[in-house]
A and B are shown apart, each in its own frame.
Chain A
Amino acid sequence: EVHLVESGGGLVQPGGSLRLSCAASGFNFRDYWMHWVRQVPEKGLQWVSRIDHDGYSTNYADSVKGRFTISRDNAKNTLHLQMNSLRAEDTAVYYCVRDVGTSIGGSWCKWFDPWGQGTLVTVSS
């Protein structure tokens, strides 16, 4: 069974750092792009970042660019999110998700499946 388990969340002061991890199992991790998505409690979903198979290509939401770094260790089937210069507005549940896709009508189309259970990051003094 495909499984994603996040860890590393917690309480951190504004300006501080935190490193999230996501342990993947049940699939060939190195074959998939991976993403982080966050959700402010009781609010909507926000895409944060993505990384390709090898870790050489990444994208970030403007709100985290320059502060967050996504990385992966394919030997350990693990995805990471290094979060620096944290702000109160970064408080959220952070989900690790797998990027799945297929060719449809000549175009590559993708979706997120599965999602991890999430880890809560609280930025507060």
Chain B
Amino acid sequence: DIQLTQSPSFLSASVGDRVTITCRASQVFSSCLAWYQQKPGKAPKLLIYAASTLQSGVPSRFSGSGSGTEFTLTISSLQPEDFATYYCQQLNSYPLAFGGGTQVEIK
């Protein structure tokens, strides 16, 4: 089974900061990795798929990169509406695993 480890699990940042979240896999897999954003009391929302493709309607300040076992989600300039929890997910093989999440809070 492929396990995903996200880091950090929590980060405190200011509006305008550049933020990077890392997702490391326990083994190499194809770049079928997605990133989701979840706000309190809401369902997750797709941000990025296939490691680096921005979902339609998602602001361009979000970007994804990586391959092999290391993937990153970057927010180039953090906005007030970006404070949320972010999850990565591998969709290469079953069981489809999620990372443990990264909570982004206001400094």
A pairs with B: yes
Q: Which of A75-124 contact B (CB under 8 A)?
A: 95, 100, 102, 104, 107, 109-118
Report yes or no: A109 in contact with B97, Cβ–Cβ below 8 A: no
Given known A45-B44, A115-B43, A116-B43, contact A110–B91 (CB-CB < 8 A):
yes
The 8 Å CB contact of B46, one of A62, A95, A107, A111, is A111
> In the complex the two chains form, what is the Cα distance from A72 to B68 in whole Å?
35
Q: Number of contact residues on B: which range applies?
A: 20 to 34
Minimal Cβ-Cβ distance residue in A for B90: A47
Separation of A72 and B98 alpha carbons in the complex (Å): 24
A46 is an interface residue with CB less than 8 A from chain B:
yes
Contact with B along A29-69 (1 / 0, CB 8 A): 00000010000000011110010000000010110000000
Binding site for B on A (CB under 8 A): 35, 44-47, 50, 59, 61-62, 95, 100, 102, 104, 107, 109-118
Bound CA span A95–B100, Å? 17
With contacts A44-B100, A47-B95, A104-B50 taken as known, whether A112 is within 8 angstroms of B30 at the C-beta atoms is no
In contact, A46 and B98 (Cβ under 8 angstroms): yes
